[in-house]
Amino acid sequence: MSKTGASDNVRQFTVGADDDGVRLDRWFKRHLPQVGFATVSRWARTGQIRVDGKRADVDFRLAAGQLLRVPPGGDPKAAGPAPRRPLTEEELELADSMVLTQDRAAIVLNKPPGLATQGGKGMTSHVDGLLDAYAAEGPRPRLVHRLDKDTSGVLLIARTPGSAAFFSKRFSGRTARKIYWALVTGVPSIEDGMIELPISKQPGTGGEKMHVDMEGGQPARTRYRVIDRAGNRACWVELHPLTGRTHQLRVHMAAIGHPIVGDGKYGGQDAFLSGSISRKMHLHARRLIIDHPDGAPLDVTAPLPEHFAMGMEQLGFEEADGADIPEPRAEDTREDKKRLAKAHAKQFRKERRGERRSRGGDAPGRPAPAGGRTRNSTGSATTARSAPSKAGTGRPNTAKPGAGKSNAGKPNAGKPTTGKPGGAKFGAGKPSADKARSGPSRPSTGKPAGGSGKPGGKPPAPRGKR
């Protein structure tokens, strides 16, 4: 952003590349934060704000290179950035040692285990508190994703607000590829598979622990691949999270019976190996592949921490065996993810609709609704036919026309009918009084019920009154 003019006069700003596509009100929040939204709205409504000489509303999207005219007021120097906390020599050295690569848009770090990404209760040292070390000039860098405190590996930092918005879209749109390495106890029976288990916060833990929740959990998908194994004791797996739930990889691996080595929070004592294997968690964000604002994708690999590398060596694993990563499957593309999500939602609605229809059908002595859909033991859908009414209740069967082929159990079963094949039609006219009675039916006169040969017609007139 370049500026001409003083704060007490009309000023002109040139929209920079990092502000390309940003809303007008967001531009003011970035560069003139002391000007409130109400003031910006009034300026836009009265035409005092101009973009390339034209009026613009607060929701107008700016483009790089456009000339923005701002009325007097709101000196950017008056507010300025918040004062930054001075960092110690140790903190500056730590911040410098974590850098893998950096450019005008991004800083890629190799976060060590035990260092939190963001501050919290009782946390004084975290990555967010070290970002001032990378902001000698210009805006303060921003976090765009997180790693657990005990997880090591690639962590992407956006250098500018524009690049932060760009990278955030890639993470939320699931176009960024994140590859994790982990050592887990035991060996999965399926060495290349997909885990699809919904996750939610575990009640009573204050949101500090997650668990598999089939009823109200958020969808979570993880693809895994066994790279090597140390007998049946442990194995080395490659993990690809296709969603970004909290503690997703840790919860999923523990749910299938193979917790990550050192993850006592979800694996308990089963997560620790005997011998000299470290008790630290062996989960490492190995590689990140993501689009870059300058065009060429950003592909960064983080070296293993010391305890992870020692564990690999003691179990006989060679780091070179995991150099190649498989291409994403067809179902992992964005279009197919949407298709799978729609299919999952449709199947879920069908199952719930079947539950509502058959809610009373499985109870003893109560028939399933005619024409409803139930699930058999194989999980396939079947169509339920009409069933007899409750014995002794006298209630007529509520099956739809043509729902059943047998007349057994109907109150007028003893009367001959002349309806079309496939069962008598119900509801064509008002039900007769005989249909509401329980007990044996009247003897048939040999004539069709209704006299006219049509179901639901008038009964024959009594003798002497014809």
Catalytic residue set: 148
Alpha carbon dihedral 17, 21, 23, 27, in 10-degree steps, equals: -10
| C-alpha to C-alpha distances, 288 to 177, 298, 360, nearest whole angstrom | 6, 8, 52
Q: Using alpha carbons only, what angle is made at residue 349 by residues 346 and 353, rounded to the nearest 5 degrees? A: 140
C-beta of residue 70 within 8 angstroms of C-beta of residue 31:
no
The CA-atom distances, in angstroms, between 465 and each of 416, 442, 444, 446 are: 24, 22, 21, 20
Tokens of 373: 């859909």
Strand-strand pairing, 283-290 and 177-185:
antiparallel
Residues in Cβ contact with 22 at an 8 Å cutoff, skipping those fewer than 6 apart: 30, 61, 62, 162, 165
Q: Which residues contact 87 (CB under 8 A, 6 or more apart)?
A: 95, 130, 132, 133
The residue whose two tokens read 């002595």 is: 365
